Chain A
Amino acid sequence: MKNGAAVFLAVFIALGLSWCGFVLAPIHQLGGVKQTTVLNSSELYPIGRPGDANSGLQVYRANGCAACHTEQVRQTGVACDVVLTGAGKNPEAVSNLVSTLKLDGLAKEVAEAMSDKITAAGGKAEIHIFATGPDIRRGWGMRQSVAEDYLYDYPVQLGSLRVGPDLSNIGMREPDLNWQLVHLYAPAAEAKGSTMPPFGYLFEVRKIGGAPAPDALVFPKGSGPPAGYEVVPKPEARELAAYLLSLRLNVPVYDAPFTP
């Protein structure tokens, strides 16, 4: 081959540059992410998941949940509400002023100007900050996901396809353990029209002998096993549900601030 060394050098430089862009730069940028604190507080964030939830992460992984569910919430904007916290000495003037102003969903500068107007009239106002965007509107989280959220998860189950909803905040959206278990056993029983496959093999259907088991699932009317039978979660189902309940995106941090 003519110019073999030059071709090798060109390929080496091209691959080396993309390695720098895709591997070196992200490690340099995010490799040092550490535990942080909740905004305006000294509580630590994140604190590791409880043990059964950690095992649940492996069940989540083994069953390929990440093929249809993501764990990454996006935020397209940030907005402010001005909240009246005190009427002051002249409540009538303040309430007259407030009724003429638009106080919801403002940009930061506008919100500050409104707040100043209310303060000038003798009232007290505070600015509340909140995240906006389609994901936030669906209740998938109070804010976007940031690097700290995944600090103790291995491997991180980011997912890339949303056949089902994002699960970053499922522990807040459906905090009931029984709901989670029934939904895993028979998705359509809890979510009408759900296309999620049932994960029956995580459960044991058995004849009720004597008294029903205390941890048997409680089904909504019109679903569940035939009379005389009960559905009991296996340890895997229990761990998976514990993991799902530990997924919460409701803590304000410096990277993604909001007023709680």
Chain B
Amino acid sequence: MNHELKSSTQPDAEPTASRSTVPMWIVVLLLVLLFLGGVYFDHHSGWFDAQVYQPYASAEELDAYQPKSGAAAMLAQGKRTYDMICGVCHGPDGMGKPNQAPPLAGSEWVNAKGFARLAHIPLTGLNGPLEVEGKDWNLSMAPMGAALSDADLANVLSYIRESWGNKAGPVTADDIKSVRAALGARPQPLNEQQLKALAE
């Protein structure tokens, strides 16, 4: 009895840690975890490229998934620009709006054989009376397309010339480049006579 009491109040000396080596299984486990972490990093980090997000694993893969600029993709791009800039007045359906903008769908200016007259309108602007589909309009349009790049303007004009029943054919960026080059630095808005004086 006396002996038991003594042992419960006065334990043996403080336990001390012995100097033994780290167990081998912990070393192996850590190496396996390090390896798995490395594999995960390789698959998911994109090597810290600021532009690479999941699900793309690398800059090369992201590059491979960039849409090619085929004809249909250019038209889709043109539609986006049209809806943002042109469609505000000419309407998303190309039907125009009374006292605001004449229609583009079926318009003889859009469906001309050549692109030159149509391409001038967004580049220089248009002023004064104009006959469209037998109706007289007397409005003015600012050079809404002058700030667009050649490629963007070509896409918009291609979209206008190939939508809503128009079948006039696409315009290329080089076409716009040549028109723009002939215009000079500060083109003035054209009127109907000047527009008709241009080659088609």
Q: How far is the CA of A126 from the CA of B64 in the complex (A)?
A: 15
Interfacial residues, chain A to chain B (CB-CB below 8 A) = 25, 28-30, 32-33, 38-43, 75-78, 83, 85, 108, 126-129, 144, 146-147, 252, 254-260
B-chain residues with CB within 8 Å of residue A144 when the two chains form the complex:
53-54
* B51 interface residue per 8 A CB criterion: yes
| Contacting pair A259 B73 (CB below 8 A) | yes
- Segment 35-69 of B: residues with Cβ below 8 Å from A: 48-56, 62, 64-69
| Contacting pair B71 A126 (CB below 8 A) | yes
* Chief secondary structure at chain A's binding surface: loop
A-chain residues with CB within 8 Å of residue B73 when the two chains form the complex:
40, 126, 128, 259-260
Interfacial residues, chain B to chain A (CB-CB below 8 A) = 48-56, 62, 64-74, 76-77, 79-81, 148-149, 151-152, 155
What are 19 A-to-B residue pairs whose CB atoms are below 8 Å?
Answer: A39-B67, A40-B151, A41-B149, A41-B155, A42-B149, A43-B152, A78-B56, A85-B70, A85-B71, A126-B70, A127-B67, A127-B70, A146-B53, A254-B66, A255-B53, A255-B62, A256-B53, A260-B76, A260-B79
Task: Given A40-B67, A41-B151, A75-B54, verify A25-B48 contact (CB < 8 Å).
Answer: yes
Q: How far is the CA of A66 from the CA of B21 in the complex (A)?
A: 52
Task: Pick from B48, B49, B54, B67: contact of A257, CB below 8 A.
Answer: B67
In whole Å, how far is A188's beta carbon from the nearest beta carbon of chain B?
32
B-chain residues with CB within 8 Å of residue A146 when the two chains form the complex:
51, 53
**Please, which residue of chain A has its CB at the minimum distance from the CB of B48?**
A29
Task: Pick from A28, A77, A129, A259: contact of B55, CB below 8 A.
Answer: A77
A129-B67, A255-B53 are known; give 13 further A-B pairs, CB within 8 A.
A41-B81, A41-B151, A42-B148, A42-B149, A83-B72, A126-B73, A127-B70, A128-B73, A254-B51, A256-B53, A259-B76, A260-B76, A260-B80
Q: How far is the CA of A195 from the CA of B64 in the complex (A)?
A: 43
Q: How far is the CA of A39 from the CA of B68 in the complex (A)?
A: 10
In whole Å, how far is A42's beta carbon from the nearest beta carbon of chain B?
4
B-chain residues with CB within 8 Å of residue A33 when the two chains form the complex:
50
In whole Å, how far is A218's beta carbon from the nearest beta carbon of chain B?
23
A-chain residues with CB within 8 Å of residue B51 when the two chains form the complex:
146, 254-255
B-chain residues with CB within 8 Å of residue A147 when the two chains form the complex:
50
In whole Å, how far is B159's beta carbon from the nearest beta carbon of chain A?
12
In whole Å, how far is A75's beta carbon from the nearest beta carbon of chain B?
6
| Contacting pair A257 B77 (CB below 8 A) | no
Q: How far is the CA of A85 from the CA of B74 in the complex (A)?
A: 12
| Contacting pair A108 B65 (CB below 8 A) | yes
Interface centre among B51, B56, B149, B155 (most CB of A within 10 A): B51
**Please, which residue of chain B has its CB at the minimum distance from the CB of A254?**
B51
Nearest 7 Cβ contacts at the A-B interface: A42-B149, A126-B70, A259-B67, A255-B51, A260-B76, A126-B72, A77-B55
B-chain residues with CB within 8 Å of residue A259 when the two chains form the complex:
67, 73, 76
Task: Given A40-B73, A41-B152, A42-B149, verify A78-B53 contact (CB < 8 Å).
Answer: no
| Contacting pair A257 B69 (CB below 8 A) | no
In whole Å, how far is A215's beta carbon from the nearest beta carbon of chain B?
22
A-chain residues with CB within 8 Å of residue B65 when the two chains form the complex:
78, 108, 129, 257
| Contacting pair A85 B72 (CB below 8 A) | yes
In whole Å, how far is A227's beta carbon from the nearest beta carbon of chain B?
36
**Please, which residue of chain B has its CB at the minimum distance from the CB of A32?**
B50
| Contacting pair A43 B67 (CB below 8 A) | no
Q: How far is the CA of A128 from the CA of B67 in the complex (A)?
A: 7
Q: How far is the CA of A85 from the CA of B73 in the complex (A)?
A: 10
